[in-house]
Amino acid sequence: MTTPHPTHAIHVPAETQVALTKRLRRIEGQVRGLQRMVDEHRYCADILVQIASVQEALRSVGKLLLQNHLTHCAATAIRSGDAAEAERVVSELVELWGK
């Protein structure tokens, strides 16, 4: 899993926090909906369509987080003048790219 990085610059404005929580709750509901579809022996291709829709919703949460990360956390690291910290932030983002 993940480990806390208490020293990282973390900043999520309250409205972004609210938006993220709202979207993740909706995604949780969608995943429960998938379980229901499986229970009710729904047509596989319809379940696959719903999975694609959950994937899309997660990508959209990822974009919101990325925007926040680039605007706040990563920007702070890049501006800090600490080359090692800036490099770490860049590697992190490159690693996540295309996942």
Question: CB 91 → a copy of itself: shortest distance, Å?
Answer: 8
d(CA 73, CA 25): 24
Per-residue binding string, a copy of itself, 80-99, x by CB under 8 A, is ------xx-xxxxxx-xxxx
CB 20 within 8 A of CB 82: no
Q: Does 1 bind a copy of itself (CB under 8 A)?
A: yes
d(CA 24, CA 93): 22
d(CA 94, CA 56): 20
In the complex, which residues of this chain contact a copy of itself (CB under 8 A)?
1-5, 8, 10, 12, 17, 20-21, 24-25, 27-28, 31-35, 37-39, 41-52, 54-56, 58-59, 61-63, 65-75, 78-79, 86-87, 89-94, 96-99
